[in-house]
Amino acid sequence: MIVIVGNTKGGVGKTTLAVQIALARAAAGHSVLLIDADRQGSAQNAATMRAEGGRTPPLTCVQLADGRLLRAQLSPLAAKHDDTIIDAGGRDNESLRIALLRSDLLVVPVQPRAVDVWSLADIAELIDRAQEAREDEGRPRLDVLAALNLADPGDNRDTTETVEALAGFPQFTVSAAIVRRRKAIANAMAHGLSVAELQPRDPKACEELEQLISNVFDVTELAHGNHTAIEAE
Amino acid sequence: MAITQPSKRSKADAFAAEAPDAKPAPKLRGKRQTITFGLPPDLIAEIDAIAAEESRSRARMIEIGMRQFIRDYRRGAAARDAA
């Protein structure tokens, strides 16, 4: 399965979620490839920190930020792994578009902030165009899961209103998981660790990410275009 | 009977190519690739004067000049390596 974590809006935690999804799948025994399609190379840095820390399982990560190279390499690389997770750069670019054409699922991290909600129309429009292009090529529709990320801790109006705004976009299925801004997640990333590996353990951070990741791999079973919230197991 | 031509570029190709950072495909005229670059006006005037004397085009004169430069450069590099 090829999963792209992408949003045309930057600063929404794409790299964090991509690395956490990849690590969770690797820990579950899957053969995982993380593709860093962002020129900043932050996912690669996380993979390097993990390797230098001697952690197992290793996180296999390659950087393919050039769109044409990604187009050429994605299928043969993905064929060698159970799961391929792509961390796309934080803007509309060629590698994001190639990944939208070739992936099975797009995870869109959305920060519950006004600026992020305003930007939803941009990624929604790109998704529409990608779906048209996929249909033209005879490819199945791209599944799209919007994931609330970097939310303020506790129930708050911003988060509720962002969920309401997302419901207005038929392009997204909205995950019931809400990943909040937690120091444990940032600390885990700094060492290339999953939150489950970080000591001392932050049970809330672990639970939120577990719920999101289970949604990511359940979403293809849902009806396409259905934006009903998914209940975690 | 209506004869329709298949579209040269699929929607998927167009979608990827319209990304803000997508590099345009090289412009080819026959077996030649068109490039654009600037030169100082006095150099252009000199190239044009020689092109007129030789009854050749400006583009052809630049091509001859570049081929000559590459030959000289390679010979110089080989001589330096041998020294």
Give tens-digit pLDDT for A19-30.
Answer: 999 999 999 999
Nearest to A23 by CA among A174, A179, A167, A212: A212
Q: How far apart are the CA of B31 and the nearest CA of chain A, in angstroms?
A: 22
- Supply angle C-alpha A145, A116, A164, rounded to 5: 60
Q: Say yes or no for a CB contact (<8 Å) between A101 and B16.
A: yes
Partners of residue A180 on adjacent β-strands: A151
Q: Which of A68, A93, A129 sits opposite B15 (nearest CB)?
A: A129
CB-based contacts of A60: which residues, under 8 Å, 6+ apart?
Answer: A32, A33, A34, A47, A81
The one-digit pLDDT tens for each residue of chain A (233 residues) are: 999 999 999 999 999 999 999 999 999 999 999 999 998 899 999 999 999 999 999 999 999 999 989 999 999 999 999 999 999 977 899 999 999 999 999 999 999 999 999 999 999 999 999 999 999 999 999 999 999 999 998 888 999 999 999 999 999 999 999 999 999 999 999 999 999 999 999 999 999 999 999 999 886 554 444 434 444 43
Q: How far apart are the CA of A124 and the nearest CA of chain B, in angstroms?
A: 14
Q: At what angle do helices A120-136 and A94-102 cross, to 10 degrees?
A: 50
Give tens-digit pLDDT for A150-172.
Answer: 999 888 899 999 999 999 999 99
Residue A207, exposed/middle/buried by CB under 10 A (0-12, 13-18, 19+)?
middle
Nearest to A35 by CA among A81, A87, A106, A92: A87
Report ipTM (2 d.p.): 0.72
Q: Which of B11, B17, B19 sits opposite A92 (nearest CB)?
A: B19
Position of tokens 């399982």? A57
Position of tokens 């779906």? A131
Cβ-contact A67, A95 below 8 angstroms: yes
Tokens of A48: 């390097």
Chain B partners within 8 Å of A92 (Cβ): 19-20
Q: How far apart are the CA of B37 and the nearest CA of chain A, in angstroms?
A: 25
pTM of the model: 0.76
Cβ-contact A195, A20 below 8 angstroms: yes
